Amino acid sequence: PPDVEQLGRATWTFLHTTAAYYPEKPSPTQRANMLMLLRSLPLLYPCTNCANDFGEDIKVHPPDVSGRVGLSRWLCERHNEVNEKLGKEKFDCAIEKTDERWKDGPTD
Ligand code: FAD
């Protein structure tokens, strides 16, 4: 079985980075592809318990694929749901904070 912690860190890195660089104004095709990527996770993610819980969470909170600001926040909030479940600290989902972590780096 996969190492669920390492897989999680790698997957969050991929998802948050992809959200941070997603267009401000995505085309209909870009939106449709992002929706497919996110809706695939509950079906394909190789941690069954993670995948099932994520599937339930995105039923209640449908993906916001309207643009990079909305998507970054939506994903941050989904990650916070997992953080809460695992007893980890919550992350501040302001775009400045998600961009600092996943796009621009600290500006000092
Ligand atoms: P991670 O949670 O992997 O976070 C990596 C980095 O992201 C952090 O160091 C921080 O800099 C940043 N970060 C933290 N929170 C946020 C946020 N809200 N927004 C933006 N950036 C943030 N593990 C389980 O044991 N059970 C599960 O049910 C489970 N479900 C998962 C579902 C999904 C969809 C994914 C991708 C992962 C899941 N995981 C689950 C794995 C879990 O979320 C962690 O990745 C793993 O426990 C390693 O945690 P970590 O403390 O190294 O940091």
User: Can you give the residue ranges of every domain in the chain?
Assistant: 4-104
Report the number of secondary-structure helices (H) and strands (E) in the chain.
Answer: 5, 0
Q: What is the pTM of this model?
A: 0.98
Other Cβ atoms closer than 10 A to 87:
6
Say if ligand 1 is within 6 A of residue 78 CB: no
Reported as a single tens digit per residue, the pLDDT across 6-36 is: 999 999 999 999 999 999 999 999 999 999 9
Report the topology of domain 4-104. Four Helix Bundle (Hemerythrin (Met), subunit A) (1.20.120)
pLDDT for res 107: 78
Instruction: Give the residue, out of 12, 52, 97, with the most ligand 1 atoms within 8 A of its beta carbon, to mutate for a pocket test.
Output: 12
Of all protein residues, whose CA lies closest to atom 3 belonging to ligand 1? 9
